[in-house]
């Protein structure tokens, strides 16, 4: 019998909605840096964190694979997977400069988008 595992021990949930805005990016970077090769952080948020994605790409390059699982208003789920031996850069959408931070300044995470 070929059954799917109920729990994938290489995927770790991270719900950003429960983290205070001023600590979110530091907490996310800390969580990413605690992952090992092949492990995934499943990030959940209420807005699309485009500035954060730009920061992750700039900081880690192709070592963190970014994959949207869900991308709907109010429900964003992104898998960040560690791939230390990746050869090609992973394309990510550029962060909008006029937004002022994640969520466009309207209740987002409050980052500066830099």
Q: Give me 81's structure tokens.
A: 């997977």
What pLDDT score was predicted for residue 83? Answer: 95
Helix (H) or strand (E) holding 11: strand 11-15
Instruction: Give the C-alpha distances (Å, rounded to integers) separating 28 from 31, 45, 62, 83.
Output: 5, 12, 17, 17
Each residue of 60-93: pLDDT tens digit?
999 999 999 999 999 999 999 999 887 655 555 5
How many whole angstroms from its chain centre is CA 93? Answer: 13
Q: Give me 98's structure tokens.
A: 């006029």
What pLDDT score was predicted for residue 105? Answer: 46
| Successive 10-residue mean pLDDT values, the chain, 114 residues | 60 96 95 96 96 96 96 96 75 49 53 50
Q: Rounded distance, CA 2 to CA 26, Å?
A: 40
User: Residues for the chain: how many in total?
Assistant: 114
Name the average pLDDT for the chain.
82
């Amino acid at each position: 019998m070929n059954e799917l595992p109920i729990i994938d021990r290489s995927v770790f949930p991270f719900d950003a909605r429960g983290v205070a805005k001023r600590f979110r990016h530091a907490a996310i970077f800390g969580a990413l840096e605690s992952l090992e090769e092949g492990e995934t952080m499943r990030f959940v948020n209420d807005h699309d964190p485009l500035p954060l994605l730009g920061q992750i790409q700039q900081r880690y390059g192709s070592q963190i694979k970014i994959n949207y699982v869900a991308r709907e208003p109010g429900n964003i789920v992104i898998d960040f997977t560690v791939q230390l031996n990746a050869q090609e850069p992973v394309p990510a959408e550029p962060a909008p400069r006029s937004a002022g931070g994640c969520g466009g300044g309207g209740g987002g995470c409050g980052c500066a988008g830099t």
